[in-house]
Amino acid sequence: MIGTQSPVTVGWENIPKVEGGPVKRFVFTWFQPAMLFAMIAFWYYAPNSIAKASTAVGIGIGFKVLLLGLEWVNPRYASWRLTWKELVTDLFYVGLGFTLLHMVSHFIGSDAMAKSIEHYFHQDDFLWFTGLPILLQAFLMAFIFDFGQYWMHRGMHNWYPLWLPHSVHHYITQLNINKGAVGNPVELFLIGLGIGGFFDFLPRAVLISGAFGLAIGTYQHINVRFNSPRWWRFLFNTTEHHSVHHSRDFEATRSNFAGSFIFIDRIFGTCIDGEAELLGMEGGRRMSIREQMTHPFTEAWKTLTERLPLEQRF
Ligand SMILES: [Zn+2]
Ligand SMILES: [Zn+2]
């Protein structure tokens, strides 16, 4: 039974609506779809001189600042509001994420790496793909990425060696837009593996598919009350879905594994439409950064030395 250990609201009809005047309700109903369509249109029509990675990074940062403003204006839960302690942790992980990303892209961009990619992949192998309409290419890339991520994430919740690095992310006790970065660095590497290989796609389609991730996936951890349109929450992951995944109810956490496309969970029967306010493991015990770094290793060591029967380890 869902919600017997700690409260989880199940069913969209039971989720509170945005309170306030017509303008506020309009903004918080249409913000998410408007942003998605604006970003797709931007990358579709942008001239080549600005359609590049540095523009994407700039848009990403600007978008996050805007979302931080929305969290301030219309938080979903007052109990999730940023404290200095939470902000310091978030900034540490956002900085760490940028550093790792920079190192990886440096490595991929190196001459030796470019040569070996050229060796294994030929432009002709992807003609069937690069001949498709650009929006379809972008959607397929975003979908393939999310499909890989869905199974990696589900695997993390079902196999102890993968659960150890992921468990750290489940010790967060509130959601906000930077919380996606909080977790053990080993997990970032595993999620990278879930992408399922390297494809030599058209950069323009890559940029549009990145916009899907930014305009849909970023809302996963946001502390904003939206009136998501019915079609939006049917297709896309929302902070409501992801708060159920982070809840203190064990059964409820085994749901909503997708990053952007919640319909993948619907297909495989793992979707729960609902929301939760009380989050985290061990009744919401907060971890220090030091413990977040060491937890998977100390837990693995404990398990190895104690030799507990498997079913007691979770
Ligand atoms: Zn998870
Ligand atoms: Zn999360």
Nearest to 252 by CA among 232, 275, 236: 275
Find the 294 Cα to ligand 1 centroid distance in Å. Answer: 18
Find the 39 Cα to ligand 1 centroid distance in Å. Answer: 28
- pLDDT, the chain, mean: 84
CB 14 within 8 A of CB 261: no
How many other C-beta atoms are found inside a 10 Å radius of the C-beta of residue 259? 25
Find the 86 Cα to ligand 2 centroid distance in Å. Answer: 15
Find the 258 Cα to ligand 1 centroid distance in Å. Answer: 10
pLDDT band at 179 (very low <50, low <70, confident <90, very high): confident
pLDDT band at 198 (very low <50, low <70, confident <90, very high): very low
Find the 12 Cα to ligand 2 centroid distance in Å. Answer: 20
Identify each DSSP E strand in the chain by its residue range. 9-10, 274-275
Burial class (CB in 10 A: 0-12, 13-18, 19+), 274: buried
Find the 49 Cα to ligand 2 centroid distance in Å. Answer: 36
Tokens of 30: 């249409």
Nearest to 76 by CA among 33, 19, 30: 19
pTM reported for the whole predicted model = 0.84
Name the closest ligand to CA 253.
Answer: 1
pLDDT band at 131 (very low <50, low <70, confident <90, very high): confident
Find the 14 Cα to ligand 2 centroid distance in Å. Answer: 22
pLDDT tens column, 26-76: 999 999 999 999 999 999 998 888 887 778 878 888 898 899 999 998 999
Find the 168 Cα to ligand 1 centroid distance in Å. Answer: 9
CB 128 within 8 A of CB 195: no
CB 7 within 8 A of CB 17: no
Nearest to 279 by CA among 237, 311, 246: 246
Find the 172 Cα to ligand 1 centroid distance in Å. Answer: 11
- Listed in sequence order, the residues at least 6 apart from 82 whose beta carbon sits closer than 8 Å to its beta carbon are 71, 90, 176
Tokens of 285: 């015990």
pLDDT tens column, 240-260: 999 999 999 999 999 999 999
Find the 104 Cα to ligand 1 centroid distance in Å. Answer: 24
Find the 121 Cα to ligand 1 centroid distance in Å. Answer: 33
DSSP state of 274: E
pLDDT of residue 82 exceeding 80, the answer is: yes
Helices 203-212 and 22-45: crossing angle in degrees, nearest 10, is 170
Find the 253 Cα to ligand 1 centroid distance in Å. Answer: 7
Find the 262 Cα to ligand 2 centroid distance in Å. Answer: 14
Element (H, E) at 199: none
